[in-house]
Structure 1
Amino acid sequence: MPAANRLAHALYTDFEARLRRERNFARYVFLDESARTLYADWEKVAGDRLSGLHPR
C-alpha cells in the first residue's frame, strides 16, 4: 500500500493511476510538468526534495 492518502491524491496527483514505479514524490516533483505549476516556488520545493535524497 502506498504511503499516501486521499488528501495527498487530491492535492498533488492521483498516484494510484500511475505505474507503481512512478509513485514517488521526488519523481513527481522533477518529472511531472504539473508540479511546476502547482508550487509557487517550485525551485525551493525541488531543492528540498533533492536535499532529502542525499544522506547527511
Structure 2
Amino acid sequence: MATNKKVFTLRLEENNFEKIKIIAEKNKRSIAMQIEYLIEQHIEKYEEENGSIKIND
C-alpha cells in the first residue's frame, strides 16, 4: 500500500506513550493515527489563533 506520509522516529516518555495508547484504544485508532490526529488538532488551533501557516514547496 503506497502512501505519501513521511516516516520518522519519535521518542516519547513512557507515561505519555501509555496514555496515548489508552486514548487510541478508546478511539479505535492506532497509536500512530492518534498521534497524527492530535497533531492535526493542535495545528488547527494554532492557525485559528495565529493565521494560516504558509508552506514553501
TM-score, length of structure 1 as denominator length: 0.30
TM-score, length of structure 2 as denominator length: 0.29
